[in-house]
Amino acid sequence: MTTVEARLILGDCAKELKHLADDSIDLIFTSPPYADSRANSYGGIKPDQYVEWFLPISQELYRVLKPSGTFILNIKEKVVNGERHTYVIELILAMRKQGWLWTEEFIWHKKNAYPGKWPNRFRDAWERLLQFNKARKFRMFQEAVMVPMGDWAERRLRRLSQTDRIRDNSRVGSGFGKRVANWIGRQKAYPTNVLHLATETKNRNHSAVFPDDLPEWFIRLFTQEGDWVLDPFMGSGTTVRVAQRMGRNAIGIEILPEYYQLAKAIIPPLAHLPARQLSLLEETEPYESVEPE
Ligand SMILES: C[S@@+](CC[C@H](N)C(=O)[O-])C[C@H]1O[C@@H](n2cnc3c(N)ncnc32)[C@H](O)[C@@H]1O
């Protein structure tokens, strides 16, 4: 039996983060208010002031994250005066100056985005998940997010060509090579950096709830049981609730009392969970990169 803690804090994360210890968090996963959006529910930050507003917070996040930890920032730039605002791009550049490494960018493809009509653009059906780190070497448990090989493997592996049986080095000299035959008999492959997930449709009395699968995927990829997960813009508590279910300790900070109460009502301060999940102990094998046709 493992016991994990969930600390819910009511307040402004710019201030509350100062009470957290240096180098104490394994994963920060959060979705801050988007510039100017949802002004009716919790006020918005003007797109032109977004970077200035966020930098003192990211400075504190840098301090509390362990050198081996990861920060995932879910964000999407809005359209202002007919063009995409550049505050996300400016934020990335400013955070790099703060010392962050912009290690990767994942795309959350919203599978169930409903159609719409705009004169000069199509429906927005994706959001960014920016990955930042303090060091080039960080903890990552790739085997924990492997996906079934599915149809591609069956189709592609049925008829192997001569090159498929040997290592096929890239013709453009990129150094990338693949040996498709390596995948015979494999049930699982490593995923891509595009996540296809439906948006949350169950209304949990918060206007910007993300689906459980989103934090879950990153918690599996970047943490192990007993680690610490932080969401400084907790909202209804999705990240903290999911982290707790997965046997991770978690801290959530929320500025609005009604959302804080919402999270408090469903997340106990301590949870007792059965011992380690077997899926995390899966056997791993060396593999080579493979590109679907
Ligand atoms: C996009 S929502 C997060 C929703 C959350 N991911 C969920 O699944 O419910 C952002 C949240 O940040 C809160 N917030 C805004 N400014 C904050 C601040 N300075 N400190 C802490 N929370 C803040 C808002 O009240 C809102 O609930």
- 249 forms beta bridges with 228
Q: What share of the chain is helix, strand, coil (3-state, %, to 5)?
A: 30, 25, 45
Residues 64 and 173 reside in one and the same domain:
no
- 23 forms beta bridges with none
Residues 40, 43, 46, 51, CA torsion sign: negative
Q: Under a CB-based contact definition with an 8 Å cutoff, are residues 65 and 29 in contact? A: no
Smallest CA separation from ligand 1 atom 7, residue: 209
- Does a structural domain hold residue 290? no
- Does a structural domain hold residue 88? yes
Residues 130 and 200 reside in one and the same domain:
yes
Quote the pLDDT of residue 243: 98
Task: Please identify which residue in the block is written with the tokens 């080039």.
Answer: 136
Smallest CA separation from ligand 1 atom 17, residue: 255
Residues 116 and 194 reside in one and the same domain:
yes
Residues 111 and 222 reside in one and the same domain:
yes
> 280: CA distance to ligand 1 center in Å?
30
Ligand 1 binding pocket includes 254 (Cβ within 6 Å): yes
| 209: Cβ contacts below 8 Å, ≥ 6 apart | 200, 202, 203, 235, 236, 238
Ligand 1 binding pocket includes 14 (Cβ within 6 Å): yes
Smallest CA separation from ligand 1 atom 19, residue: 12
- Does a structural domain hold residue 173? yes
- Does a structural domain hold residue 287? no
> Of 158, 189, 220, which residue constitutes the final position of a domain?
189
Residues 153 and 268 reside in one and the same domain:
no
Residues 126 and 158 reside in one and the same domain:
no
Q: Under a CB-based contact definition with an 8 Å cutoff, are residues 240 and 248 in contact? A: no
Task: Please identify which residue in the block is written with the tokens 């059965």.
Answer: 274
Here the CATH number for the domain that contains residue 77 is: 3.40.50.150
Domain span including residue 165? 147-189
Smallest CA separation from ligand 1 atom 16, residue: 255
Residues 61 and 184 reside in one and the same domain:
no
Quote the pLDDT of residue 168: 64
Residues 162 and 120 reside in one and the same domain:
no
> 64: CA distance to ligand 1 center in Å?
19
- Does a structural domain hold residue 31? yes
Atom in ligand 1 nearest the alpha carbon of residue 32: 10
Quote the pLDDT of residue 151: 67
Smallest CA separation from ligand 1 atom 8, residue: 209
Residues 252 and 165 reside in one and the same domain:
no
Quote the pLDDT of residue 279: 43
> Of 189, 223, 243, which residue constitutes the final position of a domain?
189
Residues 12 and 156 reside in one and the same domain:
no
Ligand 1 binding pocket includes 13 (Cβ within 6 Å): yes
Smallest CA separation from ligand 1 atom 18, residue: 12
Residues 31 and 175 reside in one and the same domain:
no
> 249: CA distance to ligand 1 center in Å?
19
Smallest CA separation from ligand 1 atom 3, residue: 235
Per-residue pLDDT 10s for the chain (293 aa) are 889 999 999 999 999 999 999 999 999 999 999 877 545 555 578 999 999 999 999 999 999 999 999 999 999 988 888 899 999 999 999 999 999 999 999 999 998 887 888 888 998 899 999 999 999 999 999 999 998 877 666 676 677 776 776 766 666 666 666 676 676 667 888 999 999 998 876 656 666 788 999 999 999 999 999 999 999 999 999 999 999 999 999 999 999 999 999 999 999 999 998 876 544 444 433 333 334 43
Question: Coil, helix or strand for 8?
Answer: strand
Count of structural domains within the chain: 2
Residues 125 and 236 reside in one and the same domain:
yes
Ligand 1 binding pocket includes 17 (Cβ within 6 Å): no
| 11 Ramachandran zone, left/alpha/beta (phi>0; psi -120 to 50) | left
Ligand 1 binding pocket includes 259 (Cβ within 6 Å): yes
Atom in ligand 1 nearest the alpha carbon of residue 42: 25
> 208: CA distance to ligand 1 center in Å?
8
Q: Under a CB-based contact definition with an 8 Å cutoff, are residues 8 and 234 in contact? A: yes
> 259: CA distance to ligand 1 center in Å?
8
